[in-house]
Chain A
Amino acid sequence: MEAKKIAEGIWEVPRTAKEGMLVPARIYATDKLFKEMDQGVFEQVTNVACLPGIQKYAICMPDGHWGYGFPIGGVAAMDTKTGVISPGGIGFDINCGMRLIRTNLIEAEVKPKLRDLIDRLFHAVPCGVGTKGFLKLKEDEFREIMVQGAQGIIRRGYGWPEDAERMEDAGRIPGADPAKVSPKATSRGIHQLGTLGSGNHYLEIQVVYPGNVYDADAAKAMGIDRDFQVVVMFHCGSRGFGHQVGTDYLDLFGPAMKRYGITIRDRELACAPFASPEGQDYFKAMVCAANSAFANRQMVTHRIREVFSDVFKRDARDLGLDIVYDVTHNIAKIERYQVNGEEKELLVHRKGATRSFPPGHPELAERYRATGQPVIIGGSMETGSYLLIGTAKAMEESFGSTCHGSGRTMSRTAAKKKVHGRDLLQRMEQKGIYVRAASFAGVAEEAGMAYKDISDVVEAVETLGISKKVVRLQPIGNIKG
C-alpha cells in the first residue's frame, strides 16, 4: 500500500488506496520507523478510515504495530452525532494505562534495599494468570467503584486526598452506568482490584540519571527535582472486568451492525452508532471499566506506599511518594476539536495512544494547567521510559494524542525462540536491573529486542511536535506480570 511523505514525520495513505475509505490514513514516523512499520498497520489503519463518521484522518502513532481490529497506536475521532463507537478501537483492556509515582529517595539509598523492595512488591501487587487482589468488595460496593473510580478507593482510605487531581479525569470519568455491565463482567473483576495482570504489564523502579532531564522546569513541576531520583512506574488496566465488558459488547455489536446496515472489513471492528442505544450502552459500560482501572491503579499505589514505608521504616508521605500522573492509553473519550474551521464534539478512540493536552487546556487540573499534561511513555523492561508533556500542536494535528510506548516489532512466539527467560534475567541483572516475574516464558516475550527503540519513538513525536520530552527514566528493578 502506497504512503506518501507529506511533511517531516507524517506519511499519508490517500482515500483512493482502498474502497470504502472515508478519509485518508496518517502514519507518524521517522524515516527509520516508517521503513520498519509492519504491513498489518497499513491494512488496519486504512480499515479504520472506512468507519462511519470518522473525521480528518485515521492515525497510527510511531510505536504502532499490527493489533486486532485497530492497529496498536491507533487514533480515530468520530462525530458523536453521525459516527460509531468500536470496542476494537479501545481494546479489551479498557483504560489500560500508566501511573508514575515520585519519591524523595535517590538511587544510593534504594540500591542496598532493592531486592527486598522488589520481592515485597512482587507479593503485595499480585501478577500473572487469574490473580486476586486483597480488597474484598460486595457487589454493590464494586458498582460504586464503577462510578467513582479512583476517588471511591481514596474514600475507602487507600489514598491521599490530593491523589485524584494527579490523574487524567481525576480518576473518575463521568457517564458510568453499572446497569449496562453484565453480571459476568462483575463476577470476573470483583476480586481483582490491586493486581497487575500479565503480558506487557509491569511495575518498575526507575532512576532519573543526570543528563536525562530535558526540561528542568516541567520536571520540577512534576516533582522530579533531584539527580539520581528514584521513581516507580507501573502499567496495568481494568483486568478481567474490562476484558469481559469488551467481550460482551463485541458479541452484541455483530447483530446491531446488521440492524444499522454497517459493513466492516474485519469482524473485530464491530461497531454501533454512538448515538444508538447499543452505542450508548457500551459507552456507559466502558466508562465503568475505565473507572475500575483507575481504581485498580489506586490500589496498586496504596500497596507501593505500604511496601516502601515498611522497607525504609518511614512514613510514605515523608518518603514523598506522590503521584506524578496517571494516563489511560486504551479509551474512547468525548472531546472538542476544530474540524475544517468548525468546532465539533468528537468521540476520540485511543488504542495504544495517550492524551497529550497542552498548557492552558481547561480540562487539566490546576496543578498542571501551566505546564501541560504529563504523558507517561512506558518502554520495554530493558530500555527505559519517558515522561513527556502535551502540546498545542497535538490539538491541531492528532486530536490531542501522542504515542504510548515502544511498540513491538517481533511476535511473542518469535521472541521466545530467540531468547530464554532465565538468560534474559541474568543479562538484566548484569546490567543492574533486578527482575521478579510471574513466568520465564512471559519474560522472554518482553525482551527489549522484541520492541522498537523507545528513543526513536519519542524523537518522532517530539519532531512532529505532538508532545515534548521532559525526562528519561531508566529501570533498576522490575516486576513482570
Chain B
Amino acid sequence: MPYRFLEDVAIADVAFEAEGRTLPEVFEASALALTEVMVDLDGLSPVLSREITLTAEDLETLLFRWLAELIYLKDSACLLFCRFQIAIREGTEWELQATVWGEGIDYGKLPLKLDVKAVTYHLFVIEQIPAGWRARVVLDI
C-alpha cells in the first residue's frame, strides 16, 4: 500500500502518511487513504467518472483542496472514488486536472465505514523524499 495509517496522532481523528514516486502518485495515494477510511476499497467499483480541476498558490494548498473536493463530492453528490488519473502542473500557480472513477453511496451494497468531516492542516506536510514525495494528513472524523 502506498499509504499507512498512523497510531496515536490526534487520537479522535485519523492520520495517514502517503508516498509516491511522483506528485500524481502521492495525490492518488492520499485519495485512496481518504476513501479507505470511509469504505472498504475492495467493495467499491469504478462505474462512473467525474472531472476535477483545481488550482492553488502552493502545493500544500493544492493537496488540501484535492482531498477537500473528494469529501465535498461524498456529501453533495453521494459519490466515493477508487480510481484516479491525475495530472499536476506548476506554472504561475499549481494546477491539478483529474478524472476520478467510483460509484454512488448505496447502503445495501457498499461496505461503508466512517464518515470524514474534513481535511485539517494539523501536522499537514507534503515533502520531497529520496524516493519521490511523501504527504502526512490528519482527517477530522
A residues with a Cβ closer than 8 A to B are 38, 40, 65-69, 72, 88, 91-93, 128-130, 132, 184, 187-189, 192, 197-200, 239-240, 243-244, 246-247, 250-251, 254-255, 266-268, 270, 408-414, 438-439, 441-442, 445, 481
Contact = CB atoms under 8 A, between A and B. Distances in A.
A268 B120 contact: yes
Contact of B11 (A93, A128, A132, A412): A412
B135 interface: no
Given A200-B12, A441-B114, A129 B121 contact: no
Interface in B100-116: 105, 107, 111-115
A244 B141 CA distance: 14
A20 to B, nearest CB: 18
A247 B115 contact: no
A267 B141 contact: no
A67 B13 contact: yes
Interface residues of B, number: 43
A184 B72 contact: yes
Contacts of A411: 7-9, 11
B98 interface: no
B113 A441 contact: yes
A88 B118 CA distance: 12
A439 B75 contact: no
Contact of A129 (B76, B112, B138): B112
15 contacts: A40-B10, A88-B121, A128-B107, A129-B74, A129-B113, A130-B75, A130-B105, A197-B117, A200-B12, A240-B75, A244-B72, A254-B61, A268-B124, A413-B5, A439-B113
Nearest to B38: A129
A411 to B, nearest CB: 4
Nearest to B60: A267
Interface string B43-75: 000000000000001001100110010011011
B124 A267 contact: yes
A200 B112 CA distance: 16
Interface of B: 5-14, 38-39, 57, 60-61, 64-65, 68, 71-72, 74-76, 78, 80, 105, 107, 111-115, 117-124, 138, 140-141
Contacts of A197: 115, 117
Given A93-B140, A414-B7, A69 B122 contact: yes
A296 to B, nearest CB: 13
Contact of B114 (A65, A92, A199, A266): A199
B12 A408 contact: yes
A247 B5 CA distance: 22
B12 A67 contact: yes
Given A132-B78, A192-B75, A251 B141 contact: no
Contacts of A414: 7-8
A65 B122 contact: no
B115 A199 contact: yes
Contacts, number: 141
Contacts of A91: 140
A38 B11 contact: yes
Query: Of A132, A268, A481, which is in contact with the most chain B CB atoms at under 10 Å from its CB?
Result: A268
A251 B122 contact: no
Contacts of A250: 120-121
Nearest to A72: B12
A267 B60 CA distance: 11
A93 B117 contact: yes
A249 B11 CA distance: 24
Contacts of A247: 68, 71-72, 118-119
A412 B13 CA distance: 7
Contacts of B113: 129, 439, 441-442
The listed residue with most B CB atoms (<10 A of its CB), out of A128, A130, A438, A445, is A130
Nearest to B64: A251
A441 B40 CA distance: 10
Contact of B112 (A65, A93, A438): A438
B122 A266 contact: yes
Contact of B117 (A92, A184, A267, A409): A92
Nearest to B112: A129
Contacts of A132: 78
A237 B111 CA distance: 24
Given A68-B10, A68-B13, A184-B76, A270 B112 contact: no
Given A243-B117, A244-B72, A266-B122, 19 more contacts: A66-B9, A67-B12, A129-B112, A130-B74, A130-B80, A184-B72, A187-B76, A199-B115, A199-B117, A199-B141, A240-B76, A243-B75, A247-B118, A251-B61, A408-B11, A413-B5, A413-B14, A439-B113, A481-B115
